[in-house]
């Protein structure tokens, strides 16, 4: 036998094993609010609650993000968004104030590592060339 118990704003329904043996007769109403919406709504507006934005629209730099993204979305300039550079710079400046929330991509570190590897590689090549020259000199003698 099932029963309900209220805990403040929550309602807990307790069911028995017998209740689970028969298929549920509950039908949920169809709601248009539950339909999955993409980033751009059918009317062309931006869906700021889209999970694809990863919370960017609501963080400490949310206003700057929304300004920059709106500017880009509604931009008619060629190339698209070229009139929004200042807004994106404002967003980037804000993000640098919160490095724990908006960490810098590892791309720069990878670039730095590749540059170091390239310079080490070229110095190793020079050393190898130098060693080869020494070996030739030794062989001639």
DSSP string, 34-103: GS---SB-TTS-B-TT-GGGTTTTTSTTHHHHHHHHHHHHH--SSSTTGGGHHHHHHHHHHHHT-TTTSP
pLDDT for 16 equals 80
Tell me which fold the domain 40-102 belongs to: Helix Hairpins (1.10.287)
ω into residue 77 within 30 of 0, thus cis? no
pLDDT band at 71 (very low <50, low <70, confident <90, very high): very high
The reported pTM is 0.52
pLDDT band at 28 (very low <50, low <70, confident <90, very high): low
pLDDT for 138 equals 45
List the domain boundaries for the chain: 40-102
pLDDT band at 139 (very low <50, low <70, confident <90, very high): very low
pLDDT digit string (tens) for 81-96?
999 999 999 999 999 9
């Amino acid at each position: 036998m099932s029963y309900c118990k209220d805990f403040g704003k929550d309602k807990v329904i307790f069911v028995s094993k017998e209740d689970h043996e028969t298929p549920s007769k509950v039908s949920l109403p169809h709601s248009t609010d539950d339909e999955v919406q993409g980033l751009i709504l059918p009317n062309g507006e931006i869906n700021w609650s889209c999970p694809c934005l990863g919370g960017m629209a609501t963080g400490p730099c949310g206003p700057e993000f929304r300004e920059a993204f709106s500017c880009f979305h509604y931009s008619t300039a060629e190339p698209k968004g070229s009139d929004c550079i200042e807004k994106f710079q404002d967003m980037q400046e804000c993000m640098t104030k919160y490095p724990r929330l908006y960490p810098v991509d590892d791309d720069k570190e990878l670039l730095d590592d590749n540059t170091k590897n390239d310079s080490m590689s070229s110095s190793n090549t020079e050393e190898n060339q130098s060693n080869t020259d020494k070996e030739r000199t030794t062989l001639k003698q």
